[in-house]
Structure 1
Amino acid sequence: MEELKRLSKLVTYSLNINSVLYQDKKQGNKEDVLISNIKKGKYKTDADAALDLYQAGPNDVRYKMLKHRLKRKLYNNLYFIDYNKLNTKVSFQKEQECYSMLHHAHVLLRQYELDLVISIAKKIIAIANQYDFTSLLISGLELLTLSYSQQGALKPFLSAKQDLTVALDKRNYEREAVSLFQYVSINLKKSVKSRKELLPELPSILHKLEDLWNSCGTFDAFESYYKAYIWYNELEGSFANIVTLTVQSERWVEEGKVNLLRFEYSYNKFIIVYAHLRAKHLINGLLYAERFLADFNPNTSKWFAYMENYCLLALHSKLYELADSLFQKVFANGAYSKIGNTAKERWVLYQAYFSLVNSNSTTGIANKKNPYFISLPEYSKDKQGFNVAILVLQFVYFLKKGDAEALMYRIESLKKYILTHLKDNFSLRSKLFLKLLMLTVTEDFNAEVCATKGEKYFEKLKDTPTPGDAYAEIEIIPYEHLWELILDTLIKREA
């Protein structure tokens, strides 16, 4: 049933199913009912469908035959998908066009229609060269050499054979690069432990990937090096290196070193802004963020992800008027209701932090029932990456309210959290800042004493760089700015 659900969702969305799937209406009636009810969510299991259609169990031969016929038709109709409806990249559509032509060419080859095969092969080669599809280029050249050899056409055969030899050499390098990248990818996705174990290997892997790309010059080899380089420097917290690579990559495209038609400009622009944020290159980051904003469709989740980095750049730069206008754009966007719950929670968290530093915000907090995440425990798995941010938000909220009892309770939570979750070096900034928070309570909210006794922690905090993204908790407002806010709050409280 799960296979039918996936296929029906894809096929029915991308083509007119009634005009393609059902030519024999007499036979297709139950197929029509089956796929219609699958789309409506009426059938959760095969047992539900078999009972409804045949008053029988899922092993009934009639139901099995019905499933088989429908599945076969759905797979057949993958040939007729309108990729424009799926919003796929042009390069992917061109790739599928080549595979379709390869199928035609092999059918014609069996019929010894060699002139037609040569014509199709040349079209495949032209597209493969344009889009840097190495494997498809080889397939096209193999068709050419085979057809020319059978025709006895020596001169074009030798020319195609030479091109094929060059392409095969390129593919060997490219295949090695892709395989290395896949090795990196699987280890980075496996677990935090596997990521840590891979880190010492990555510099030599990156050097090898760069050599392989320089040897073959293909897009797939470049992409393997490009993505692995970004991941490694993200893990190391070397975001300035990512800034350099992403900006340089756009130059390589302009110079023709990287294929213009396959380079993912939107991804690169997203990473440029993100890397500037994490490298604390705030002025240039804001310039890039404003410049690239028009390249992201406001109706997509990518726009909201991009706006997260833009808003954080504004918050880190203390440009609160700009941040306010960005929040207004986000929450006024009709597509906000369509983004995932996790993304919505992040926006509520950002907005709550913003309300701490800017009481003149023109946008109300989106989650009015629990705007400061007060009801959350000190640690929540589904909030990984934001647990410290939530603890800090709760603490500052009660500090501004002057609720000493709630703060005393949270002192114990902070101590427990530090001992349990902030043991590694990459947690040092969070650990130092939580100690500063605890100091405010232990020193009875005396601003002068807190500033004096907290100076050693604060100076160490300023000297501690932000760790890599694989391990770091998110600083929505930099800890340095928050400490200034807290001292100011304590002064006002005393007054």
Structure 2
Amino acid sequence: MKDSRNLARIIINRRQGQVPLLDFEAGEKVKENRLVSALAEGKETTRNQLVRTLYDQPSAKNDNAFRQLHSRVFGKLLNHLYFLDHSDPRFSVSRRYQLECLDLLHKGLILYQEGASALSARVCASCMAKAMDDGFTAYAIEAAQQLRTIYAEMQEVKKFRAVVKDLERLQGLRRLEEQAEAIYAEARLARTGPVARLATLLATLKLHLEQVRQLHAEAQTPATADLYYRMQMIYLEQSGDYQGIIDLALEAEHQLARGQFNAHRFDVRFNLFMRMYAYLLTQQPEKGLEVASEAEKHFHPTAVNWMYFEEHRLLLALHAGQFDLARRVVQRAHLSPVFERQNKRAQQRWELFGAYLDFVRPSGKPSAARRRELGRLALMMPEYSRDKCGLNVAILIGQVLYFLREQDAEAVVLRVESLRKYRLRHLREPTNQRTRLFLRLLQLISDEQFDPVRCAERAGPFLQQLANTPPPGEAFAEVEIIPYPLLWGIILEHLRTSPPVLKLVPDATA
């Protein structure tokens, strides 16, 4: 009971006069709770709107009161981060164990500073054991360092010598982990660079992979195991070996079942997502959708990676020709509370996907507002389009689709000619073969004056070459939002049912 009495005295003597947390039980009668509700709902988006909601009308006095209220509420919201529920299995499995270690470390430090050294040693020892079991070497080191200080003060010679020995071993492992983390970070950073940098990535990536393998062979910690696994994924992805990704992911699941991966560190969500992604790139969208159905229960709708998961499920649905499912995914995505938290590029991708979907499967006659929005997308080049890879080609193709739908023959011809020049200028690498072939198909629309029969007759050789050309590695990939052969078939059907027309311009000399 001695430790309990010490803890009780610390809390009684050192507690704050007012608990720095929100009292949610008090309901909406408390302004703090009303502000939190308004912020969470997001209906009032400006400061003045929030002042009106809370104080009826804006004024200098109310504005000052709001500023103080907001500052106080913001601080209390930060304090509530200590009490979030991390037990939901749809979040990263390592999160709860990492935060348990951090929580024990925090408590151990506070107890030591309050003079409860014996109790602090117990808590820090628990932290160190848990961190070592779960592979959080950095936290194990901090706990061991605190134990070293406590045992020295308490003259616990045997325990002191033991923890010093453990600390030296842990610090050696951590140095290996940090080297592996640095290499992995460099590999991830290189993937997002410009095309010229991406083209040189494969030349060094194999060396990086071997370096991480050697570091893991020496360290044998859960952290290095995870890094080596992810580095293998990056290498396979960048080299275009998508079947290798599927095989590696399935083998990792078997290793997890056999206990060869630490279950507290292995991210099942990442594994399932990589399988989805690989099935998309190996043109097996039906299998990818099966994995997506399995993976959905592992992704929380409020998690930051939920939208990325939904984005790939949408692409799988589009590639499988399941356009009704794709429509439901788009509608659900726009209703998601995390949609607005995406960066600008991610939101523009969803706009582009929606524009493609409107072409292949219109949801009735578009409203005037939707027509204006589609026109804006067709005429603007989003910020990510300046690089000559990724979605740039998809945007240019999307412009052709928009003007086909508008039955504007002159605009279609103009865009097709622009694509011809673009193909000759920017798509010379062998890795751009699929895109070059599809742009040649689009050229037929102009060459054959929108005649679907002649377009279909001349398309045969290009379609055969497309069938024989696999997708390139991720480092060079252009995004086929809808597979080129499927999209070409939809375009031909559009030419049959709604061919573009030339707008007659009055002859000024008549």
TM over 0.5: yes
SS class of match (1:454): helix
The corresponding residue for 1:382 is 384
SS class of match (2:206): helix
SS class of match (2:305): helix
The corresponding residue for 2:465 is 460
Paired positions, count: 439
* Partner AA of 1:445 in structure 2: F
CA contact (8 A) 1:235 1:469 kept: yes
CA offset at residue 346 of structure 1? 3.0
Counterpart check, 1:417 vs 2:455: no
Q: Measured at CA, do residues 334 and 308 of structure 1 come closer, stay the same or move farther in structure 2, by a change above 3 Å?
A: closer
1:63-462, aligned counterparts within 5 Å?
Answer: 81-82=81-82, 84=84, 89-101=95-107, 103-104=109-110, 107=113, 115-144=118-147, 148=151, 156-157=159-160, 159-300=162-303, 302-330=305-333, 333=335, 335=337, 338=340, 340=342, 342-358=345-361, 361=363, 368-370=370-372, 372-373=374-375, 376-377=378-379, 380-383=382-385, 385-399=390-404, 402-462=407-467
CA contact (8 A) 2:348 2:382 kept: no
Structure 2 portions without partners, runs of 5+: 1-15, 22-44, 49-59, 62-70, 500-510
Q: Measured at CA, do residues 481 and 303 of structure 1 come closer, stay the same or move farther in structure 2, by a change above 3 Å?
A: same
Deviates more, 1:432-441 or 1:157-166: 157-166
CA offset at residue 255 of structure 1? 3.1
The whole-number CA distance in structure 2 between the counterparts of 1:149 and 1:298 is 49
Q: Measured at CA, do residues 401 and 252 of structure 1 come closer, stay the same or move farther in structure 2, by a change above 3 Å?
A: same
* Partner AA of 1:312 in structure 2: L
* Partner AA of 2:478 in structure 1: E
Structure 1 portions without partners, runs of 5+: 1-15, 22-38, 43-51, 54-70
1:52-71, aligned counterparts within 5 Å?
Answer: none
CA contact (8 A) 2:125 2:143 kept: yes
> TM-score, length-normalised on structure 2?
0.71
Deviations 1:18-48 (A, max 9, x none): 8549xxxxxxxxxxxxxxxxx9869xxxxxx
Q: Measured at CA, do residues 206 and 118 of structure 1 come closer, stay the same or move farther in structure 2, by a change above 3 Å?
A: same
Q: Measured at CA, do residues 192 and 232 of structure 1 come closer, stay the same or move farther in structure 2, by a change above 3 Å?
A: farther
The whole-number CA distance in structure 1 between the counterparts of 2:312 and 2:84 is 29
CA contact (8 A) 1:149 1:157 kept: yes
The whole-number CA distance in structure 2 between the counterparts of 1:302 and 1:189 is 17
The whole-number CA distance in structure 1 between the counterparts of 2:81 and 2:376 is 49
The whole-number CA distance in structure 2 between the counterparts of 1:363 and 1:92 is 52
Deviations 1:188-207 (A, max 9, x none): 45544333333211112112
For the aligned residues, what is the CA RMSD? Answer: 4.4
In structure 2, which of residues 479, 485, 488 is the aligned counterpart of residue 480 of structure 1?
485
Q: Measured at CA, do residues 367 and 122 of structure 1 come closer, stay the same or move farther in structure 2, by a change above 3 Å?
A: farther
| Matched-pair identity in % | 27
CA contact (8 A) 1:311 1:323 kept: yes
CA offset at residue 264 of structure 1? 3.0
The whole-number CA distance in structure 2 between the counterparts of 1:185 and 1:257 is 25
CA contact (8 A) 1:311 1:326 kept: yes
* Partner AA of 2:397 in structure 1: V
CA contact (8 A) 1:230 1:242 kept: yes
CA offset at residue 442 of structure 1? 0.8
Deviations 1:211-248 (A, max 9, x none): 32233222221232233333333332322233233333
SS class of match (2:82): coil
The whole-number CA distance in structure 2 between the counterparts of 1:272 and 1:184 is 20
The whole-number CA distance in structure 2 between the counterparts of 1:77 and 1:440 is 58
CA offset at residue 310 of structure 1? 1.3
* Partner AA of 1:486 in structure 2: I
Deviations 1:326-365 (A, max 9, x none): 445445x363763545444433432332343335x57968
Q: Measured at CA, do residues 451 and 78 of structure 1 come closer, stay the same or move farther in structure 2, by a change above 3 Å?
A: closer
Deviations 1:39-83 (A, max 9, x none): 9869xxxxxxxxx99xxxxxxxxxxxxxxxxx9xx9999888525
CA offset at residue 477 of structure 1? 1.0
The whole-number CA distance in structure 2 between the counterparts of 1:442 and 1:363 is 30
CA contact (8 A) 2:135 2:222 kept: yes
The whole-number CA distance in structure 2 between the counterparts of 1:260 and 1:362 is 48
The whole-number CA distance in structure 2 between the counterparts of 1:458 and 1:166 is 60
The whole-number CA distance in structure 2 between the counterparts of 1:186 and 1:461 is 31
SS class of match (2:246): helix
* Partner AA of 1:471 in structure 2: F
The whole-number CA distance in structure 1 between the counterparts of 2:485 and 2:254 is 36
Deviations 1:101-141 (A, max 9, x none): 45347647xx7x76445323312212212421112223333
* Partner AA of 1:283 in structure 2: E
SS class of match (1:248): helix
CA contact (8 A) 1:170 1:216 kept: yes
* Partner AA of 2:96 in structure 1: V
CA contact (8 A) 1:348 1:365 kept: no
Q: Measured at CA, do residues 247 and 150 of structure 1 come closer, stay the same or move farther in structure 2, by a change above 3 Å?
A: same
The whole-number CA distance in structure 2 between the counterparts of 1:91 and 1:405 is 61
Deviates more, 1:154-163 or 1:259-268: 154-163
The whole-number CA distance in structure 2 between the counterparts of 1:75 and 1:328 is 35
CA offset at residue 434 of structure 1? 0.9
CA contact (8 A) 2:385 2:391 kept: yes
Q: Measured at CA, do residues 349 and 17 of structure 1 come closer, stay the same or move farther in structure 2, by a change above 3 Å?
A: farther
